[in-house]
Copies of this chain bind each other. A is one copy, B any other.
Amino acid sequence: MEAKENGPNGEQSGRGKVLDGPTNPMVTPLLTDLYQFTMAYAYWKAGKHHERAVFDLYFRKNPFGGEYTIFAGLEECIRFIANFKFTEEEISFVRESLPSSCEEEFYNYLRGIDCSDVEVYSVSEGSVVFPKVPLLRIEGPIALVQLLETPFVNLINYASLVATNAARHRFVAGKSKMLLEFGLRRAQGPDGGIGASKYCYIGGFDATSNVAAGKLFGIPLRGTHSHAFVSSFMSPDEIIDKSLHSSDGSSICEDFVSLVQTWLSKIQWSNSLRGTFGETNQSELAAFSSYALAFPNNFLALVDTYDVMRSGIPNFCAVALALSDLGYKAGGIRLDSGDLAYLSCEARKFFYAIEKEFGVLGFGKMGITASNDLNEETLDALNKQGHEVDAFGIGTYLVTCYAQAALGCVFKLVEINNQPRIKLSEDVSKVSIPCKKRCYRLYGKEGYPLVDIMTGENEPPPKVGERILCRHPFNESKRAYVVPQRIVELLKCYWPGSSDKAREDLPPLKDIRQRCIKQLEQMRPDHMRRLNPTPYKVSVSAKLYDFIHFLWLNEAPVGELQ
């Protein structure tokens, strides 16, 4: 899908350069709920479709028992609206799906709409965000903006959820570990996998196994081999071309496999390792040798196909030492089963024993990657037990957000025709905060964010050094004065529509990732801890508080006790 050209220079209503469509071509104006079309028709029929509405997109509760969320998915939303236009085929399908009594003129209306009159204000992608504060504010003709509800919420819910999950995994693993996203095969469908790769990278992962995501987003790729590779070999005899040039090209080893076998027996009879293992698996030895012949500079081996300590590690070391003879440095091992804490420590000891026994400098520091059904809890448990893992490959629990598979973003009408609107509920947490709002993050003396505050659109903004009353939106007793040392306005214009505002650029993925990492570092540690984190405060101005409660009383029916 190509962005249509509205302006004389191929510019769109959003101004600036033409934007590609969403990453997934299935994201079309039909990727929405049927009721958005029935409502659009009802608005149109009532002559109400052009009325200017303001919607807030927000969530009500942080995921994973935590007290923060990473906002992601914005770029896909903007690319979606930049290219929002119905095809004739799509209009025909909408016609088939609505009652035949619907008037034909409505489809002409659909044919004409695009997002040139919609404005989108948003928190920057990769930001740390909190419940109730709008992530996006969308303004425009009500019928059209309703059509955007489902795709926007879809594009942001999972993106923010999985980015948050990634950030939480990074928090537990610590800065020094390499984190690899290995989830494609277990993800919820093809672009569940592609989305996971993109948004885990934003949340602080270093690389992915997903080649398509590497191509689409420039994310670094990582991978070694599987158990099938190991078991596909029967014995070293089947390796035909056994020759390997030395790393500097100066010499050639005619029988690399023999060299490996010589090393294996040296290890077997060495002083420090004698008796730790017997005959190793020959299928595995053949597979490792073969892999090393293919990738002498990038030899990484999965060592748990048969038995880690009695076969995988000795076989790996024999191949790594043979490579070392030829000037190559092996990359390391991957453990994919068993007690990862124990096995990584045993492997480390083995590597140090090799370093000492054979004088191969640095062999003890051989890379160890672990990858068996890891999640926040198992990473935490590994830390507590002590381990020697350098890199974690994380799949299922990360990409499916197994601990909590959904974020509950909602899209609520807060104003129409300049009239504030509220949605009530017996459950106070489900009452919406009315009015077109501005949102600020207030920072304290120590540089930490203290509180987010929402105000009415036309209230004077808070000022650095001036005391401001921050009120809980629904609990009258919760309020506090704050004297902010720094103030950041949260919602920026990412799609100006027909207004004269400047459009914020959509930054490259690496910059979004950097923003995320930086903002996480700036948070006060008690908000971030895994156990009983302190909730971050979200507030409204005194004026907005009063207005919410005035409107609430106005709309709620008065009960009669009987």
Contact = CB atoms under 8 A, between A and B. Distances in A.
Given A33-B210, A184-B150, A556-B307, A191 B26 contact: yes
Nearest to A562: B275
Contacts of A424: 305-307
Interface in A179-201: 182, 184-195
Contacts of A192: 158, 188-189, 191-192
Interface stretch (A40-48, A382-390, A474-482, A529-537): A40-48
Interface in A1-55: 22-28, 30-39, 41-43, 45-48, 51, 53, 55
A279 B557 contact: yes
B97 A31 contact: no
A38 B426 contact: no
Contact of A31 (B27, B211, B294): B211
Interface residues of A, number: 135
Contact of A33 (B182, B232, B238): B182
A297 interface: yes
A278 interface: yes
Contact of A401 (B227, B296, B405, B560): B405
A279 to B, nearest CB: 7
A158 B211 contact: no
A188 B241 contact: no
A131 interface: no
A32 B408 contact: no
Contact of A557 (B188, B191, B277, B406): B277
Interface stretch (A414-422, A483-491, A506-514): A414-422
Interface of A: 22-28, 30-39, 41-43, 45-48, 51, 53, 55, 90, 93-94, 97, 99, 101-102, 142, 146, 149-151, 153-155, 157-159, 162, 182, 184-195, 209-212, 214-215, 221-229, 231-232, 234, 238-241, 275, 277-281, 283, 290-291, 293-298, 304-307, 310-311, 337-338, 396-397, 400-402, 404-409, 411-413, 416, 419, 421-427, 430, 555-560, 562
Give the top 4 A-B pairs by smallest Cβ distance, nearest first.
Answer: A34-B223, A35-B223, A400-B405, A42-B294
